[in-house]
Each structure stands twice: as structure tokens, then as C-alpha cells.
Structure 1
Amino acid sequence: MPANAEALSGAADHDHDHHDPYFEDYFLAETTSVVRLTPSMIRVVVKVDGGERLLPSGHPDEWVRLALSPDDATPVTIPVLMENGKWGRPDGSKHCPNRPYTIRRWDAERCEMVIDIVVHEGGVAAGWAMNAAVGDVVGICNPEGRFWMPKGSEWLLMLTDITGLPAVARVLEELADGFKVIVHVEVPSDADCQDIGTVADADIHWHACHGPRDERPGYTELSRIAGEISSLPDGPGYIYIAGEARAVSDCRKHFRDRLGFDKDRIDAIGYWIEGQARV
């Protein structure tokens, strides 16, 4: 299924258990634009060499692994398909550090990919993004995804911190006209809220409480935000949660155990783990 504006036009008719097999492939991509989207997010646009081969996953939250230079003196390299049918590095090139990032948009005709990267200290890709320049080369792979609404869904609830915002924004843009969706997004500040275009019947709530705060431990209040949701819309729905792994697990338990929602209609994805590097 193409990952374009029509991808979720029949979102409620998708088969939750359907997944196409992953097809491994790698590409080099050149940076064509770097923009500070909000105080906490940088938008990078890359042109993918050989992008006509790239196979979208069909999931609107699809991600690629962004491969970066091991050091200033070493160019980015990618695995190649060897004669034995396996991917490897027969030239002895170094493995490149990489991190997973959501494809915010993919233009198949232009082979251009938009990736929004959260700014934070110490991150491999975030550090690159803060100093990225037009002409920088990165490596990417064919994308994978997770978002897949069960057949017959009449509403959608999305709950995420800022790391899942690119996925949530893309879902909102691709939802069908009038589809009921409730969104809660945790961001560091009011200035990090984004204006997202959607034809869905969307109720979007921004929570400016992400990141370190003197008055409480940890970086996220996602589990508190979930805990304040005391009821869900009538009829069959789908809940999509993304953010810090332990908080995401707590959110899932709230909807499953306290509100009695069907666990098979919840996708909960840990994008990062507090205290650990995102790999």
C-alpha cells in the first residue's frame, strides 16, 4: 500500500493482523534542507539515491534507521547485497551508528523524505541534526511500521510524547474525512505545539510538561495524562501509544485494566527508555 494521502482513507477497514514481509534494502541520501521547526524539533529533508526502489510499509507511523558517519573523517557507508544473497560490507567499511526515525512525509516522485528529529543533548542523531547542513550524506533502509487499525474501528485515540509527534501528525494528515480521533501530545513547551492539517474530526490536546522539571522526577508525565482519561468513546476503537517505554506500558495497563479496553486494539510502542541511549 502506498504511504500517501490516500493510505488511511479506509483506515477502519484495515486488517489489524495483516503485515507484508519486510524487504531489506539500503540507500544513501543527501540532505537538501534543514529547518528548526519548533524549539525542540528539527526538520531534515533528504533526497534518496535510488529511491525508486524504496518500498513504503503502508503504515503511517513507518520509520527508517538513519545511519550517520562514525567520525568526522569517515564517510557514511551502507551494506551491499553480496553474491551469496546476504547483506554485508565486503570492502571492510565501518558499521555506521544509526537511530530509528519516523518518515514524516515521503514523496515517491521526487524521492524526497522528510524526517523530524527531536532536539536533545547527547543524542547521536539529535547531535547530528543540530549541526546538519545541506549536502550532508546519511544512510537509510527500507521502512517498517506498526500503526494498523482493526477492521470496523469507529474512533482512534493517540497518546504520545514529543518523540511520537511526527507519527501522530502524519496519521492525522492521512485519516479519512470526518473520522473521529482524540489526540494527547506531551511537549516541552507551548512553543513546541504544531499546526497539523487534518480532515478528520480531531480533538487535539497539548500538554507542555515533557522534559526535566524541578518539581518532579523523570522526563515524562504520559502515564498521568493517560490516567486522567476516565472514559472512551462508544463503539469499537483503536488506541495508539508511543513514547518512553515504561510510561507507555503504564498507559496500556490503564486502558486495558482500569477502563477494560480490548488489549488487541492497543498498540503501545516504546520509542525510548529513560536513562538509556536510544538504539
Structure 2
Amino acid sequence: MGAKDFTLEVTGSEEITPDFLRVHVRDGGLLERSGIHPTMWIRLWFNDSGKAHQRAYTLVNPDPATGTFSMDFAMHHGVAAHWASSAQPGEAIDATVQGSSFTFPEPAPRRIWVVGDPASIPAINSLLDERQRVAAGAAPVTAWLEYQHDADPSIEVRTADSDVVTWIPRKRDGAALVEEVCGALTANTVSVADDFFWVASEASSTRAIVKHLRKELGVDKHRIDALGYWRV
């Protein structure tokens, strides 16, 4: 199936907020063999009472020259969070590269519309970094980020002066985010032919926003990159 397997080595960790922990690793040759692209993610394999358990994580600050990157873990009940909170330098974990892909739109879009939350901020930051590199910041970003914890809005988002970021508290199982976004994305604000849409929030919210883009506004599927990052 084209999967590539690697063994990562933990080098340390740091608290991003009380609810997010960043774990630093050596890549075991992953970046050299697989290359990197914006929003790149990998699958980590955890031992869950003797059973293999996998979760996908976005690469944070990948550095092919040093063979290192980091990953952010939400600190809630679960095997992945438990592993991250107890992982010590020198500890190993298996990873698989399969399925992750992204190509920055060409020509550069008029505007990039982004919907996400703390779980997708690493991917959003890599998208913003690539936007700056390939388009010299030509495409401004309008982003809505849903949050559940008071410290979430303190997480770094690598915006430019022309970008606009709005933090939306999670209410009514995500309905507040969907209503805010769909109310702002109208035929008067969106250029169907020239804009690009990147949506990665809770799965049902992502589906609702993509449905609005496709059915109500007529946005071509090739101008939308969408993924449900987690499920309620």
C-alpha cells in the first residue's frame, strides 16, 4: 500500500498550554526518506493493553537537516495522551507514513479561508509558512478557530499582518462555529474561482461547512481541502 515505517526516539517534551503537550523526537530517517510537505501527518502506534492502537499527528517544525520534529498531544483521557505525558528521552515509538499529501494551489489564490481548532493549528501553521514561501504572503488568510479551553487562544498562529483570525468558543456541539463560518462565507465575500478553502475541525462541523461551500456557494471540490480531525 506504499506505507513507510519508522522508529522515532523521544528527545524531550514541553507544555504548550495546560491542555496540550509537545513531544520532540528524532525521526529515524523519516524526513529524509519521505520528504516533507505542508500539513504533513503521520500515524503513531501505541500499545493499548496488548492491542495496536494508532492515531494521526501533524508534524511540528520538521527539520530534515537535523532529522527532528515535534508533535502536539491534547491532554485528555486516552492511550495517546497517556503515552505522551509519560514518555521519557530515549523512549521509542513506531510511526507510519501513508496517505498524507498536500500541494499548495497554483496560481496563488486571492484569499485562503481556514477553519480549524487547536488540534489543527500545527497544520495551519505549516500552511501559513508555505503560503509565505511560495507566494510571498500574497494570499491573505481569514481563519476561524474553535476553542474549548481558556488557554487555547494563546497557542501561536503564524499569521501575517494581512491575516484575520477569529476564535470561536465551542458551543452547542460545534453549531456556533458552523453558523459563524457559513454566515460569513457568502456569494458576496467569496470568489468561487479564485479562493482556496482549508477546513479541519471536528468531523461533523467539517462536513457541514464543506456542504455549505459545495451546495450553497458552488465551490469546486478541487478548491477545498477538508478533513475531520476528530470526532465527538
**Band the TM-score falls in, shorter-chain normalisation:** 0.7 to 0.9
1:64 aligns with 2:22: no
Write out per-residue CA displacement over residues 7-49 of structure 1, whole angstroms, 9 at most, x where no aligned residue. xxxxxxxxxxxxxxx8422111111111110122111111122
Q: Which amino acid aligns with 1:249?
A: R
How large is the RMSD of aligned CA atoms in angstroms?
2.5
Counterpart among 146, 152, 157 of residue 196 in structure 1: 157
Asked whether the equivalents of residues 106 and 113 of structure 1 are also in contact (C-alpha less than 8 Å), the reply is yes
Write out per-residue CA displacement over residues 47-96 of structure 1, whole angstroms, 9 at most, x where no aligned residue. 122346431253x111100112345xxxxxxxxxxxxxxxxxxxxxx763
Aligned twin of 1:46: 25
1:111 aligns with 2:89: no
CA distance in 2, matches of 1:126, 1:36: 13
Distance 1:150 1:200, change over 3 A: farther
1:223 aligns with 2:178: yes
Asked whether the equivalents of residues 119 and 229 of structure 2 are also in contact (C-alpha less than 8 Å), the reply is yes
CA distance in 1, matches of 2:35, 2:230: 23
Aligned twin of 2:204: 246
Aligned twin of 1:29: 8
Unaligned runs of 5+ in 2: none
Distance 1:245 1:174, change over 3 A: same
* TM-aligned CA deviation for residue 108 of structure 1: 0.9
1:182 aligns with 2:182: no
Which one has more relative contact order, counting CA pairs under 8 Å at least 6 apart? Answer: 1
1:135 aligns with 2:90: yes
SS of the equivalent of 1:173 reads helix
Distance 1:33 1:219, change over 3 A: farther
Give the helix-richer structure, 1 or 2: 2
Asked whether the equivalents of residues 245 and 273 of structure 1 are also in contact (C-alpha less than 8 Å), the reply is yes
Distance 1:135 1:189, change over 3 A: same
CA distance in 1, matches of 2:30, 2:185: 45
Identity among equivalent pairs (%): 27
Q: Which amino acid aligns with 2:194?
A: P
* TM-aligned CA deviation for residue 145 of structure 1: 2.5
Write out per-residue CA displacement over residues 159-180 of structure 1, whole angstroms, 9 at most, x where no aligned residue. 0122212211221223223221
* TM-aligned CA deviation for residue 226 of structure 1: 1.9
Write out per-residue CA displacement over residues 85-118 of structure 1, whole angstroms, 9 at most, x where no aligned residue. xxxxxxxxx7632211111221111111211122
Greater C-alpha Rg: 1
Q: Which amino acid aligns with 2:42?
A: V
Aligned counterparts, 1:161-172, within 5 A: 161-172=117-128
* TM-aligned CA deviation for residue 183 of structure 1: 1.2
Distance 1:143 1:46, change over 3 A: farther
* TM-aligned CA deviation for residue 228 of structure 1: 2.7
Write out per-residue CA displacement over residues 225-274 of structure 1, whole angstroms, 9 at most, x where no aligned residue. 32231433446011011122221110011222233333331122112222
SS of the equivalent of 2:39 reads coil
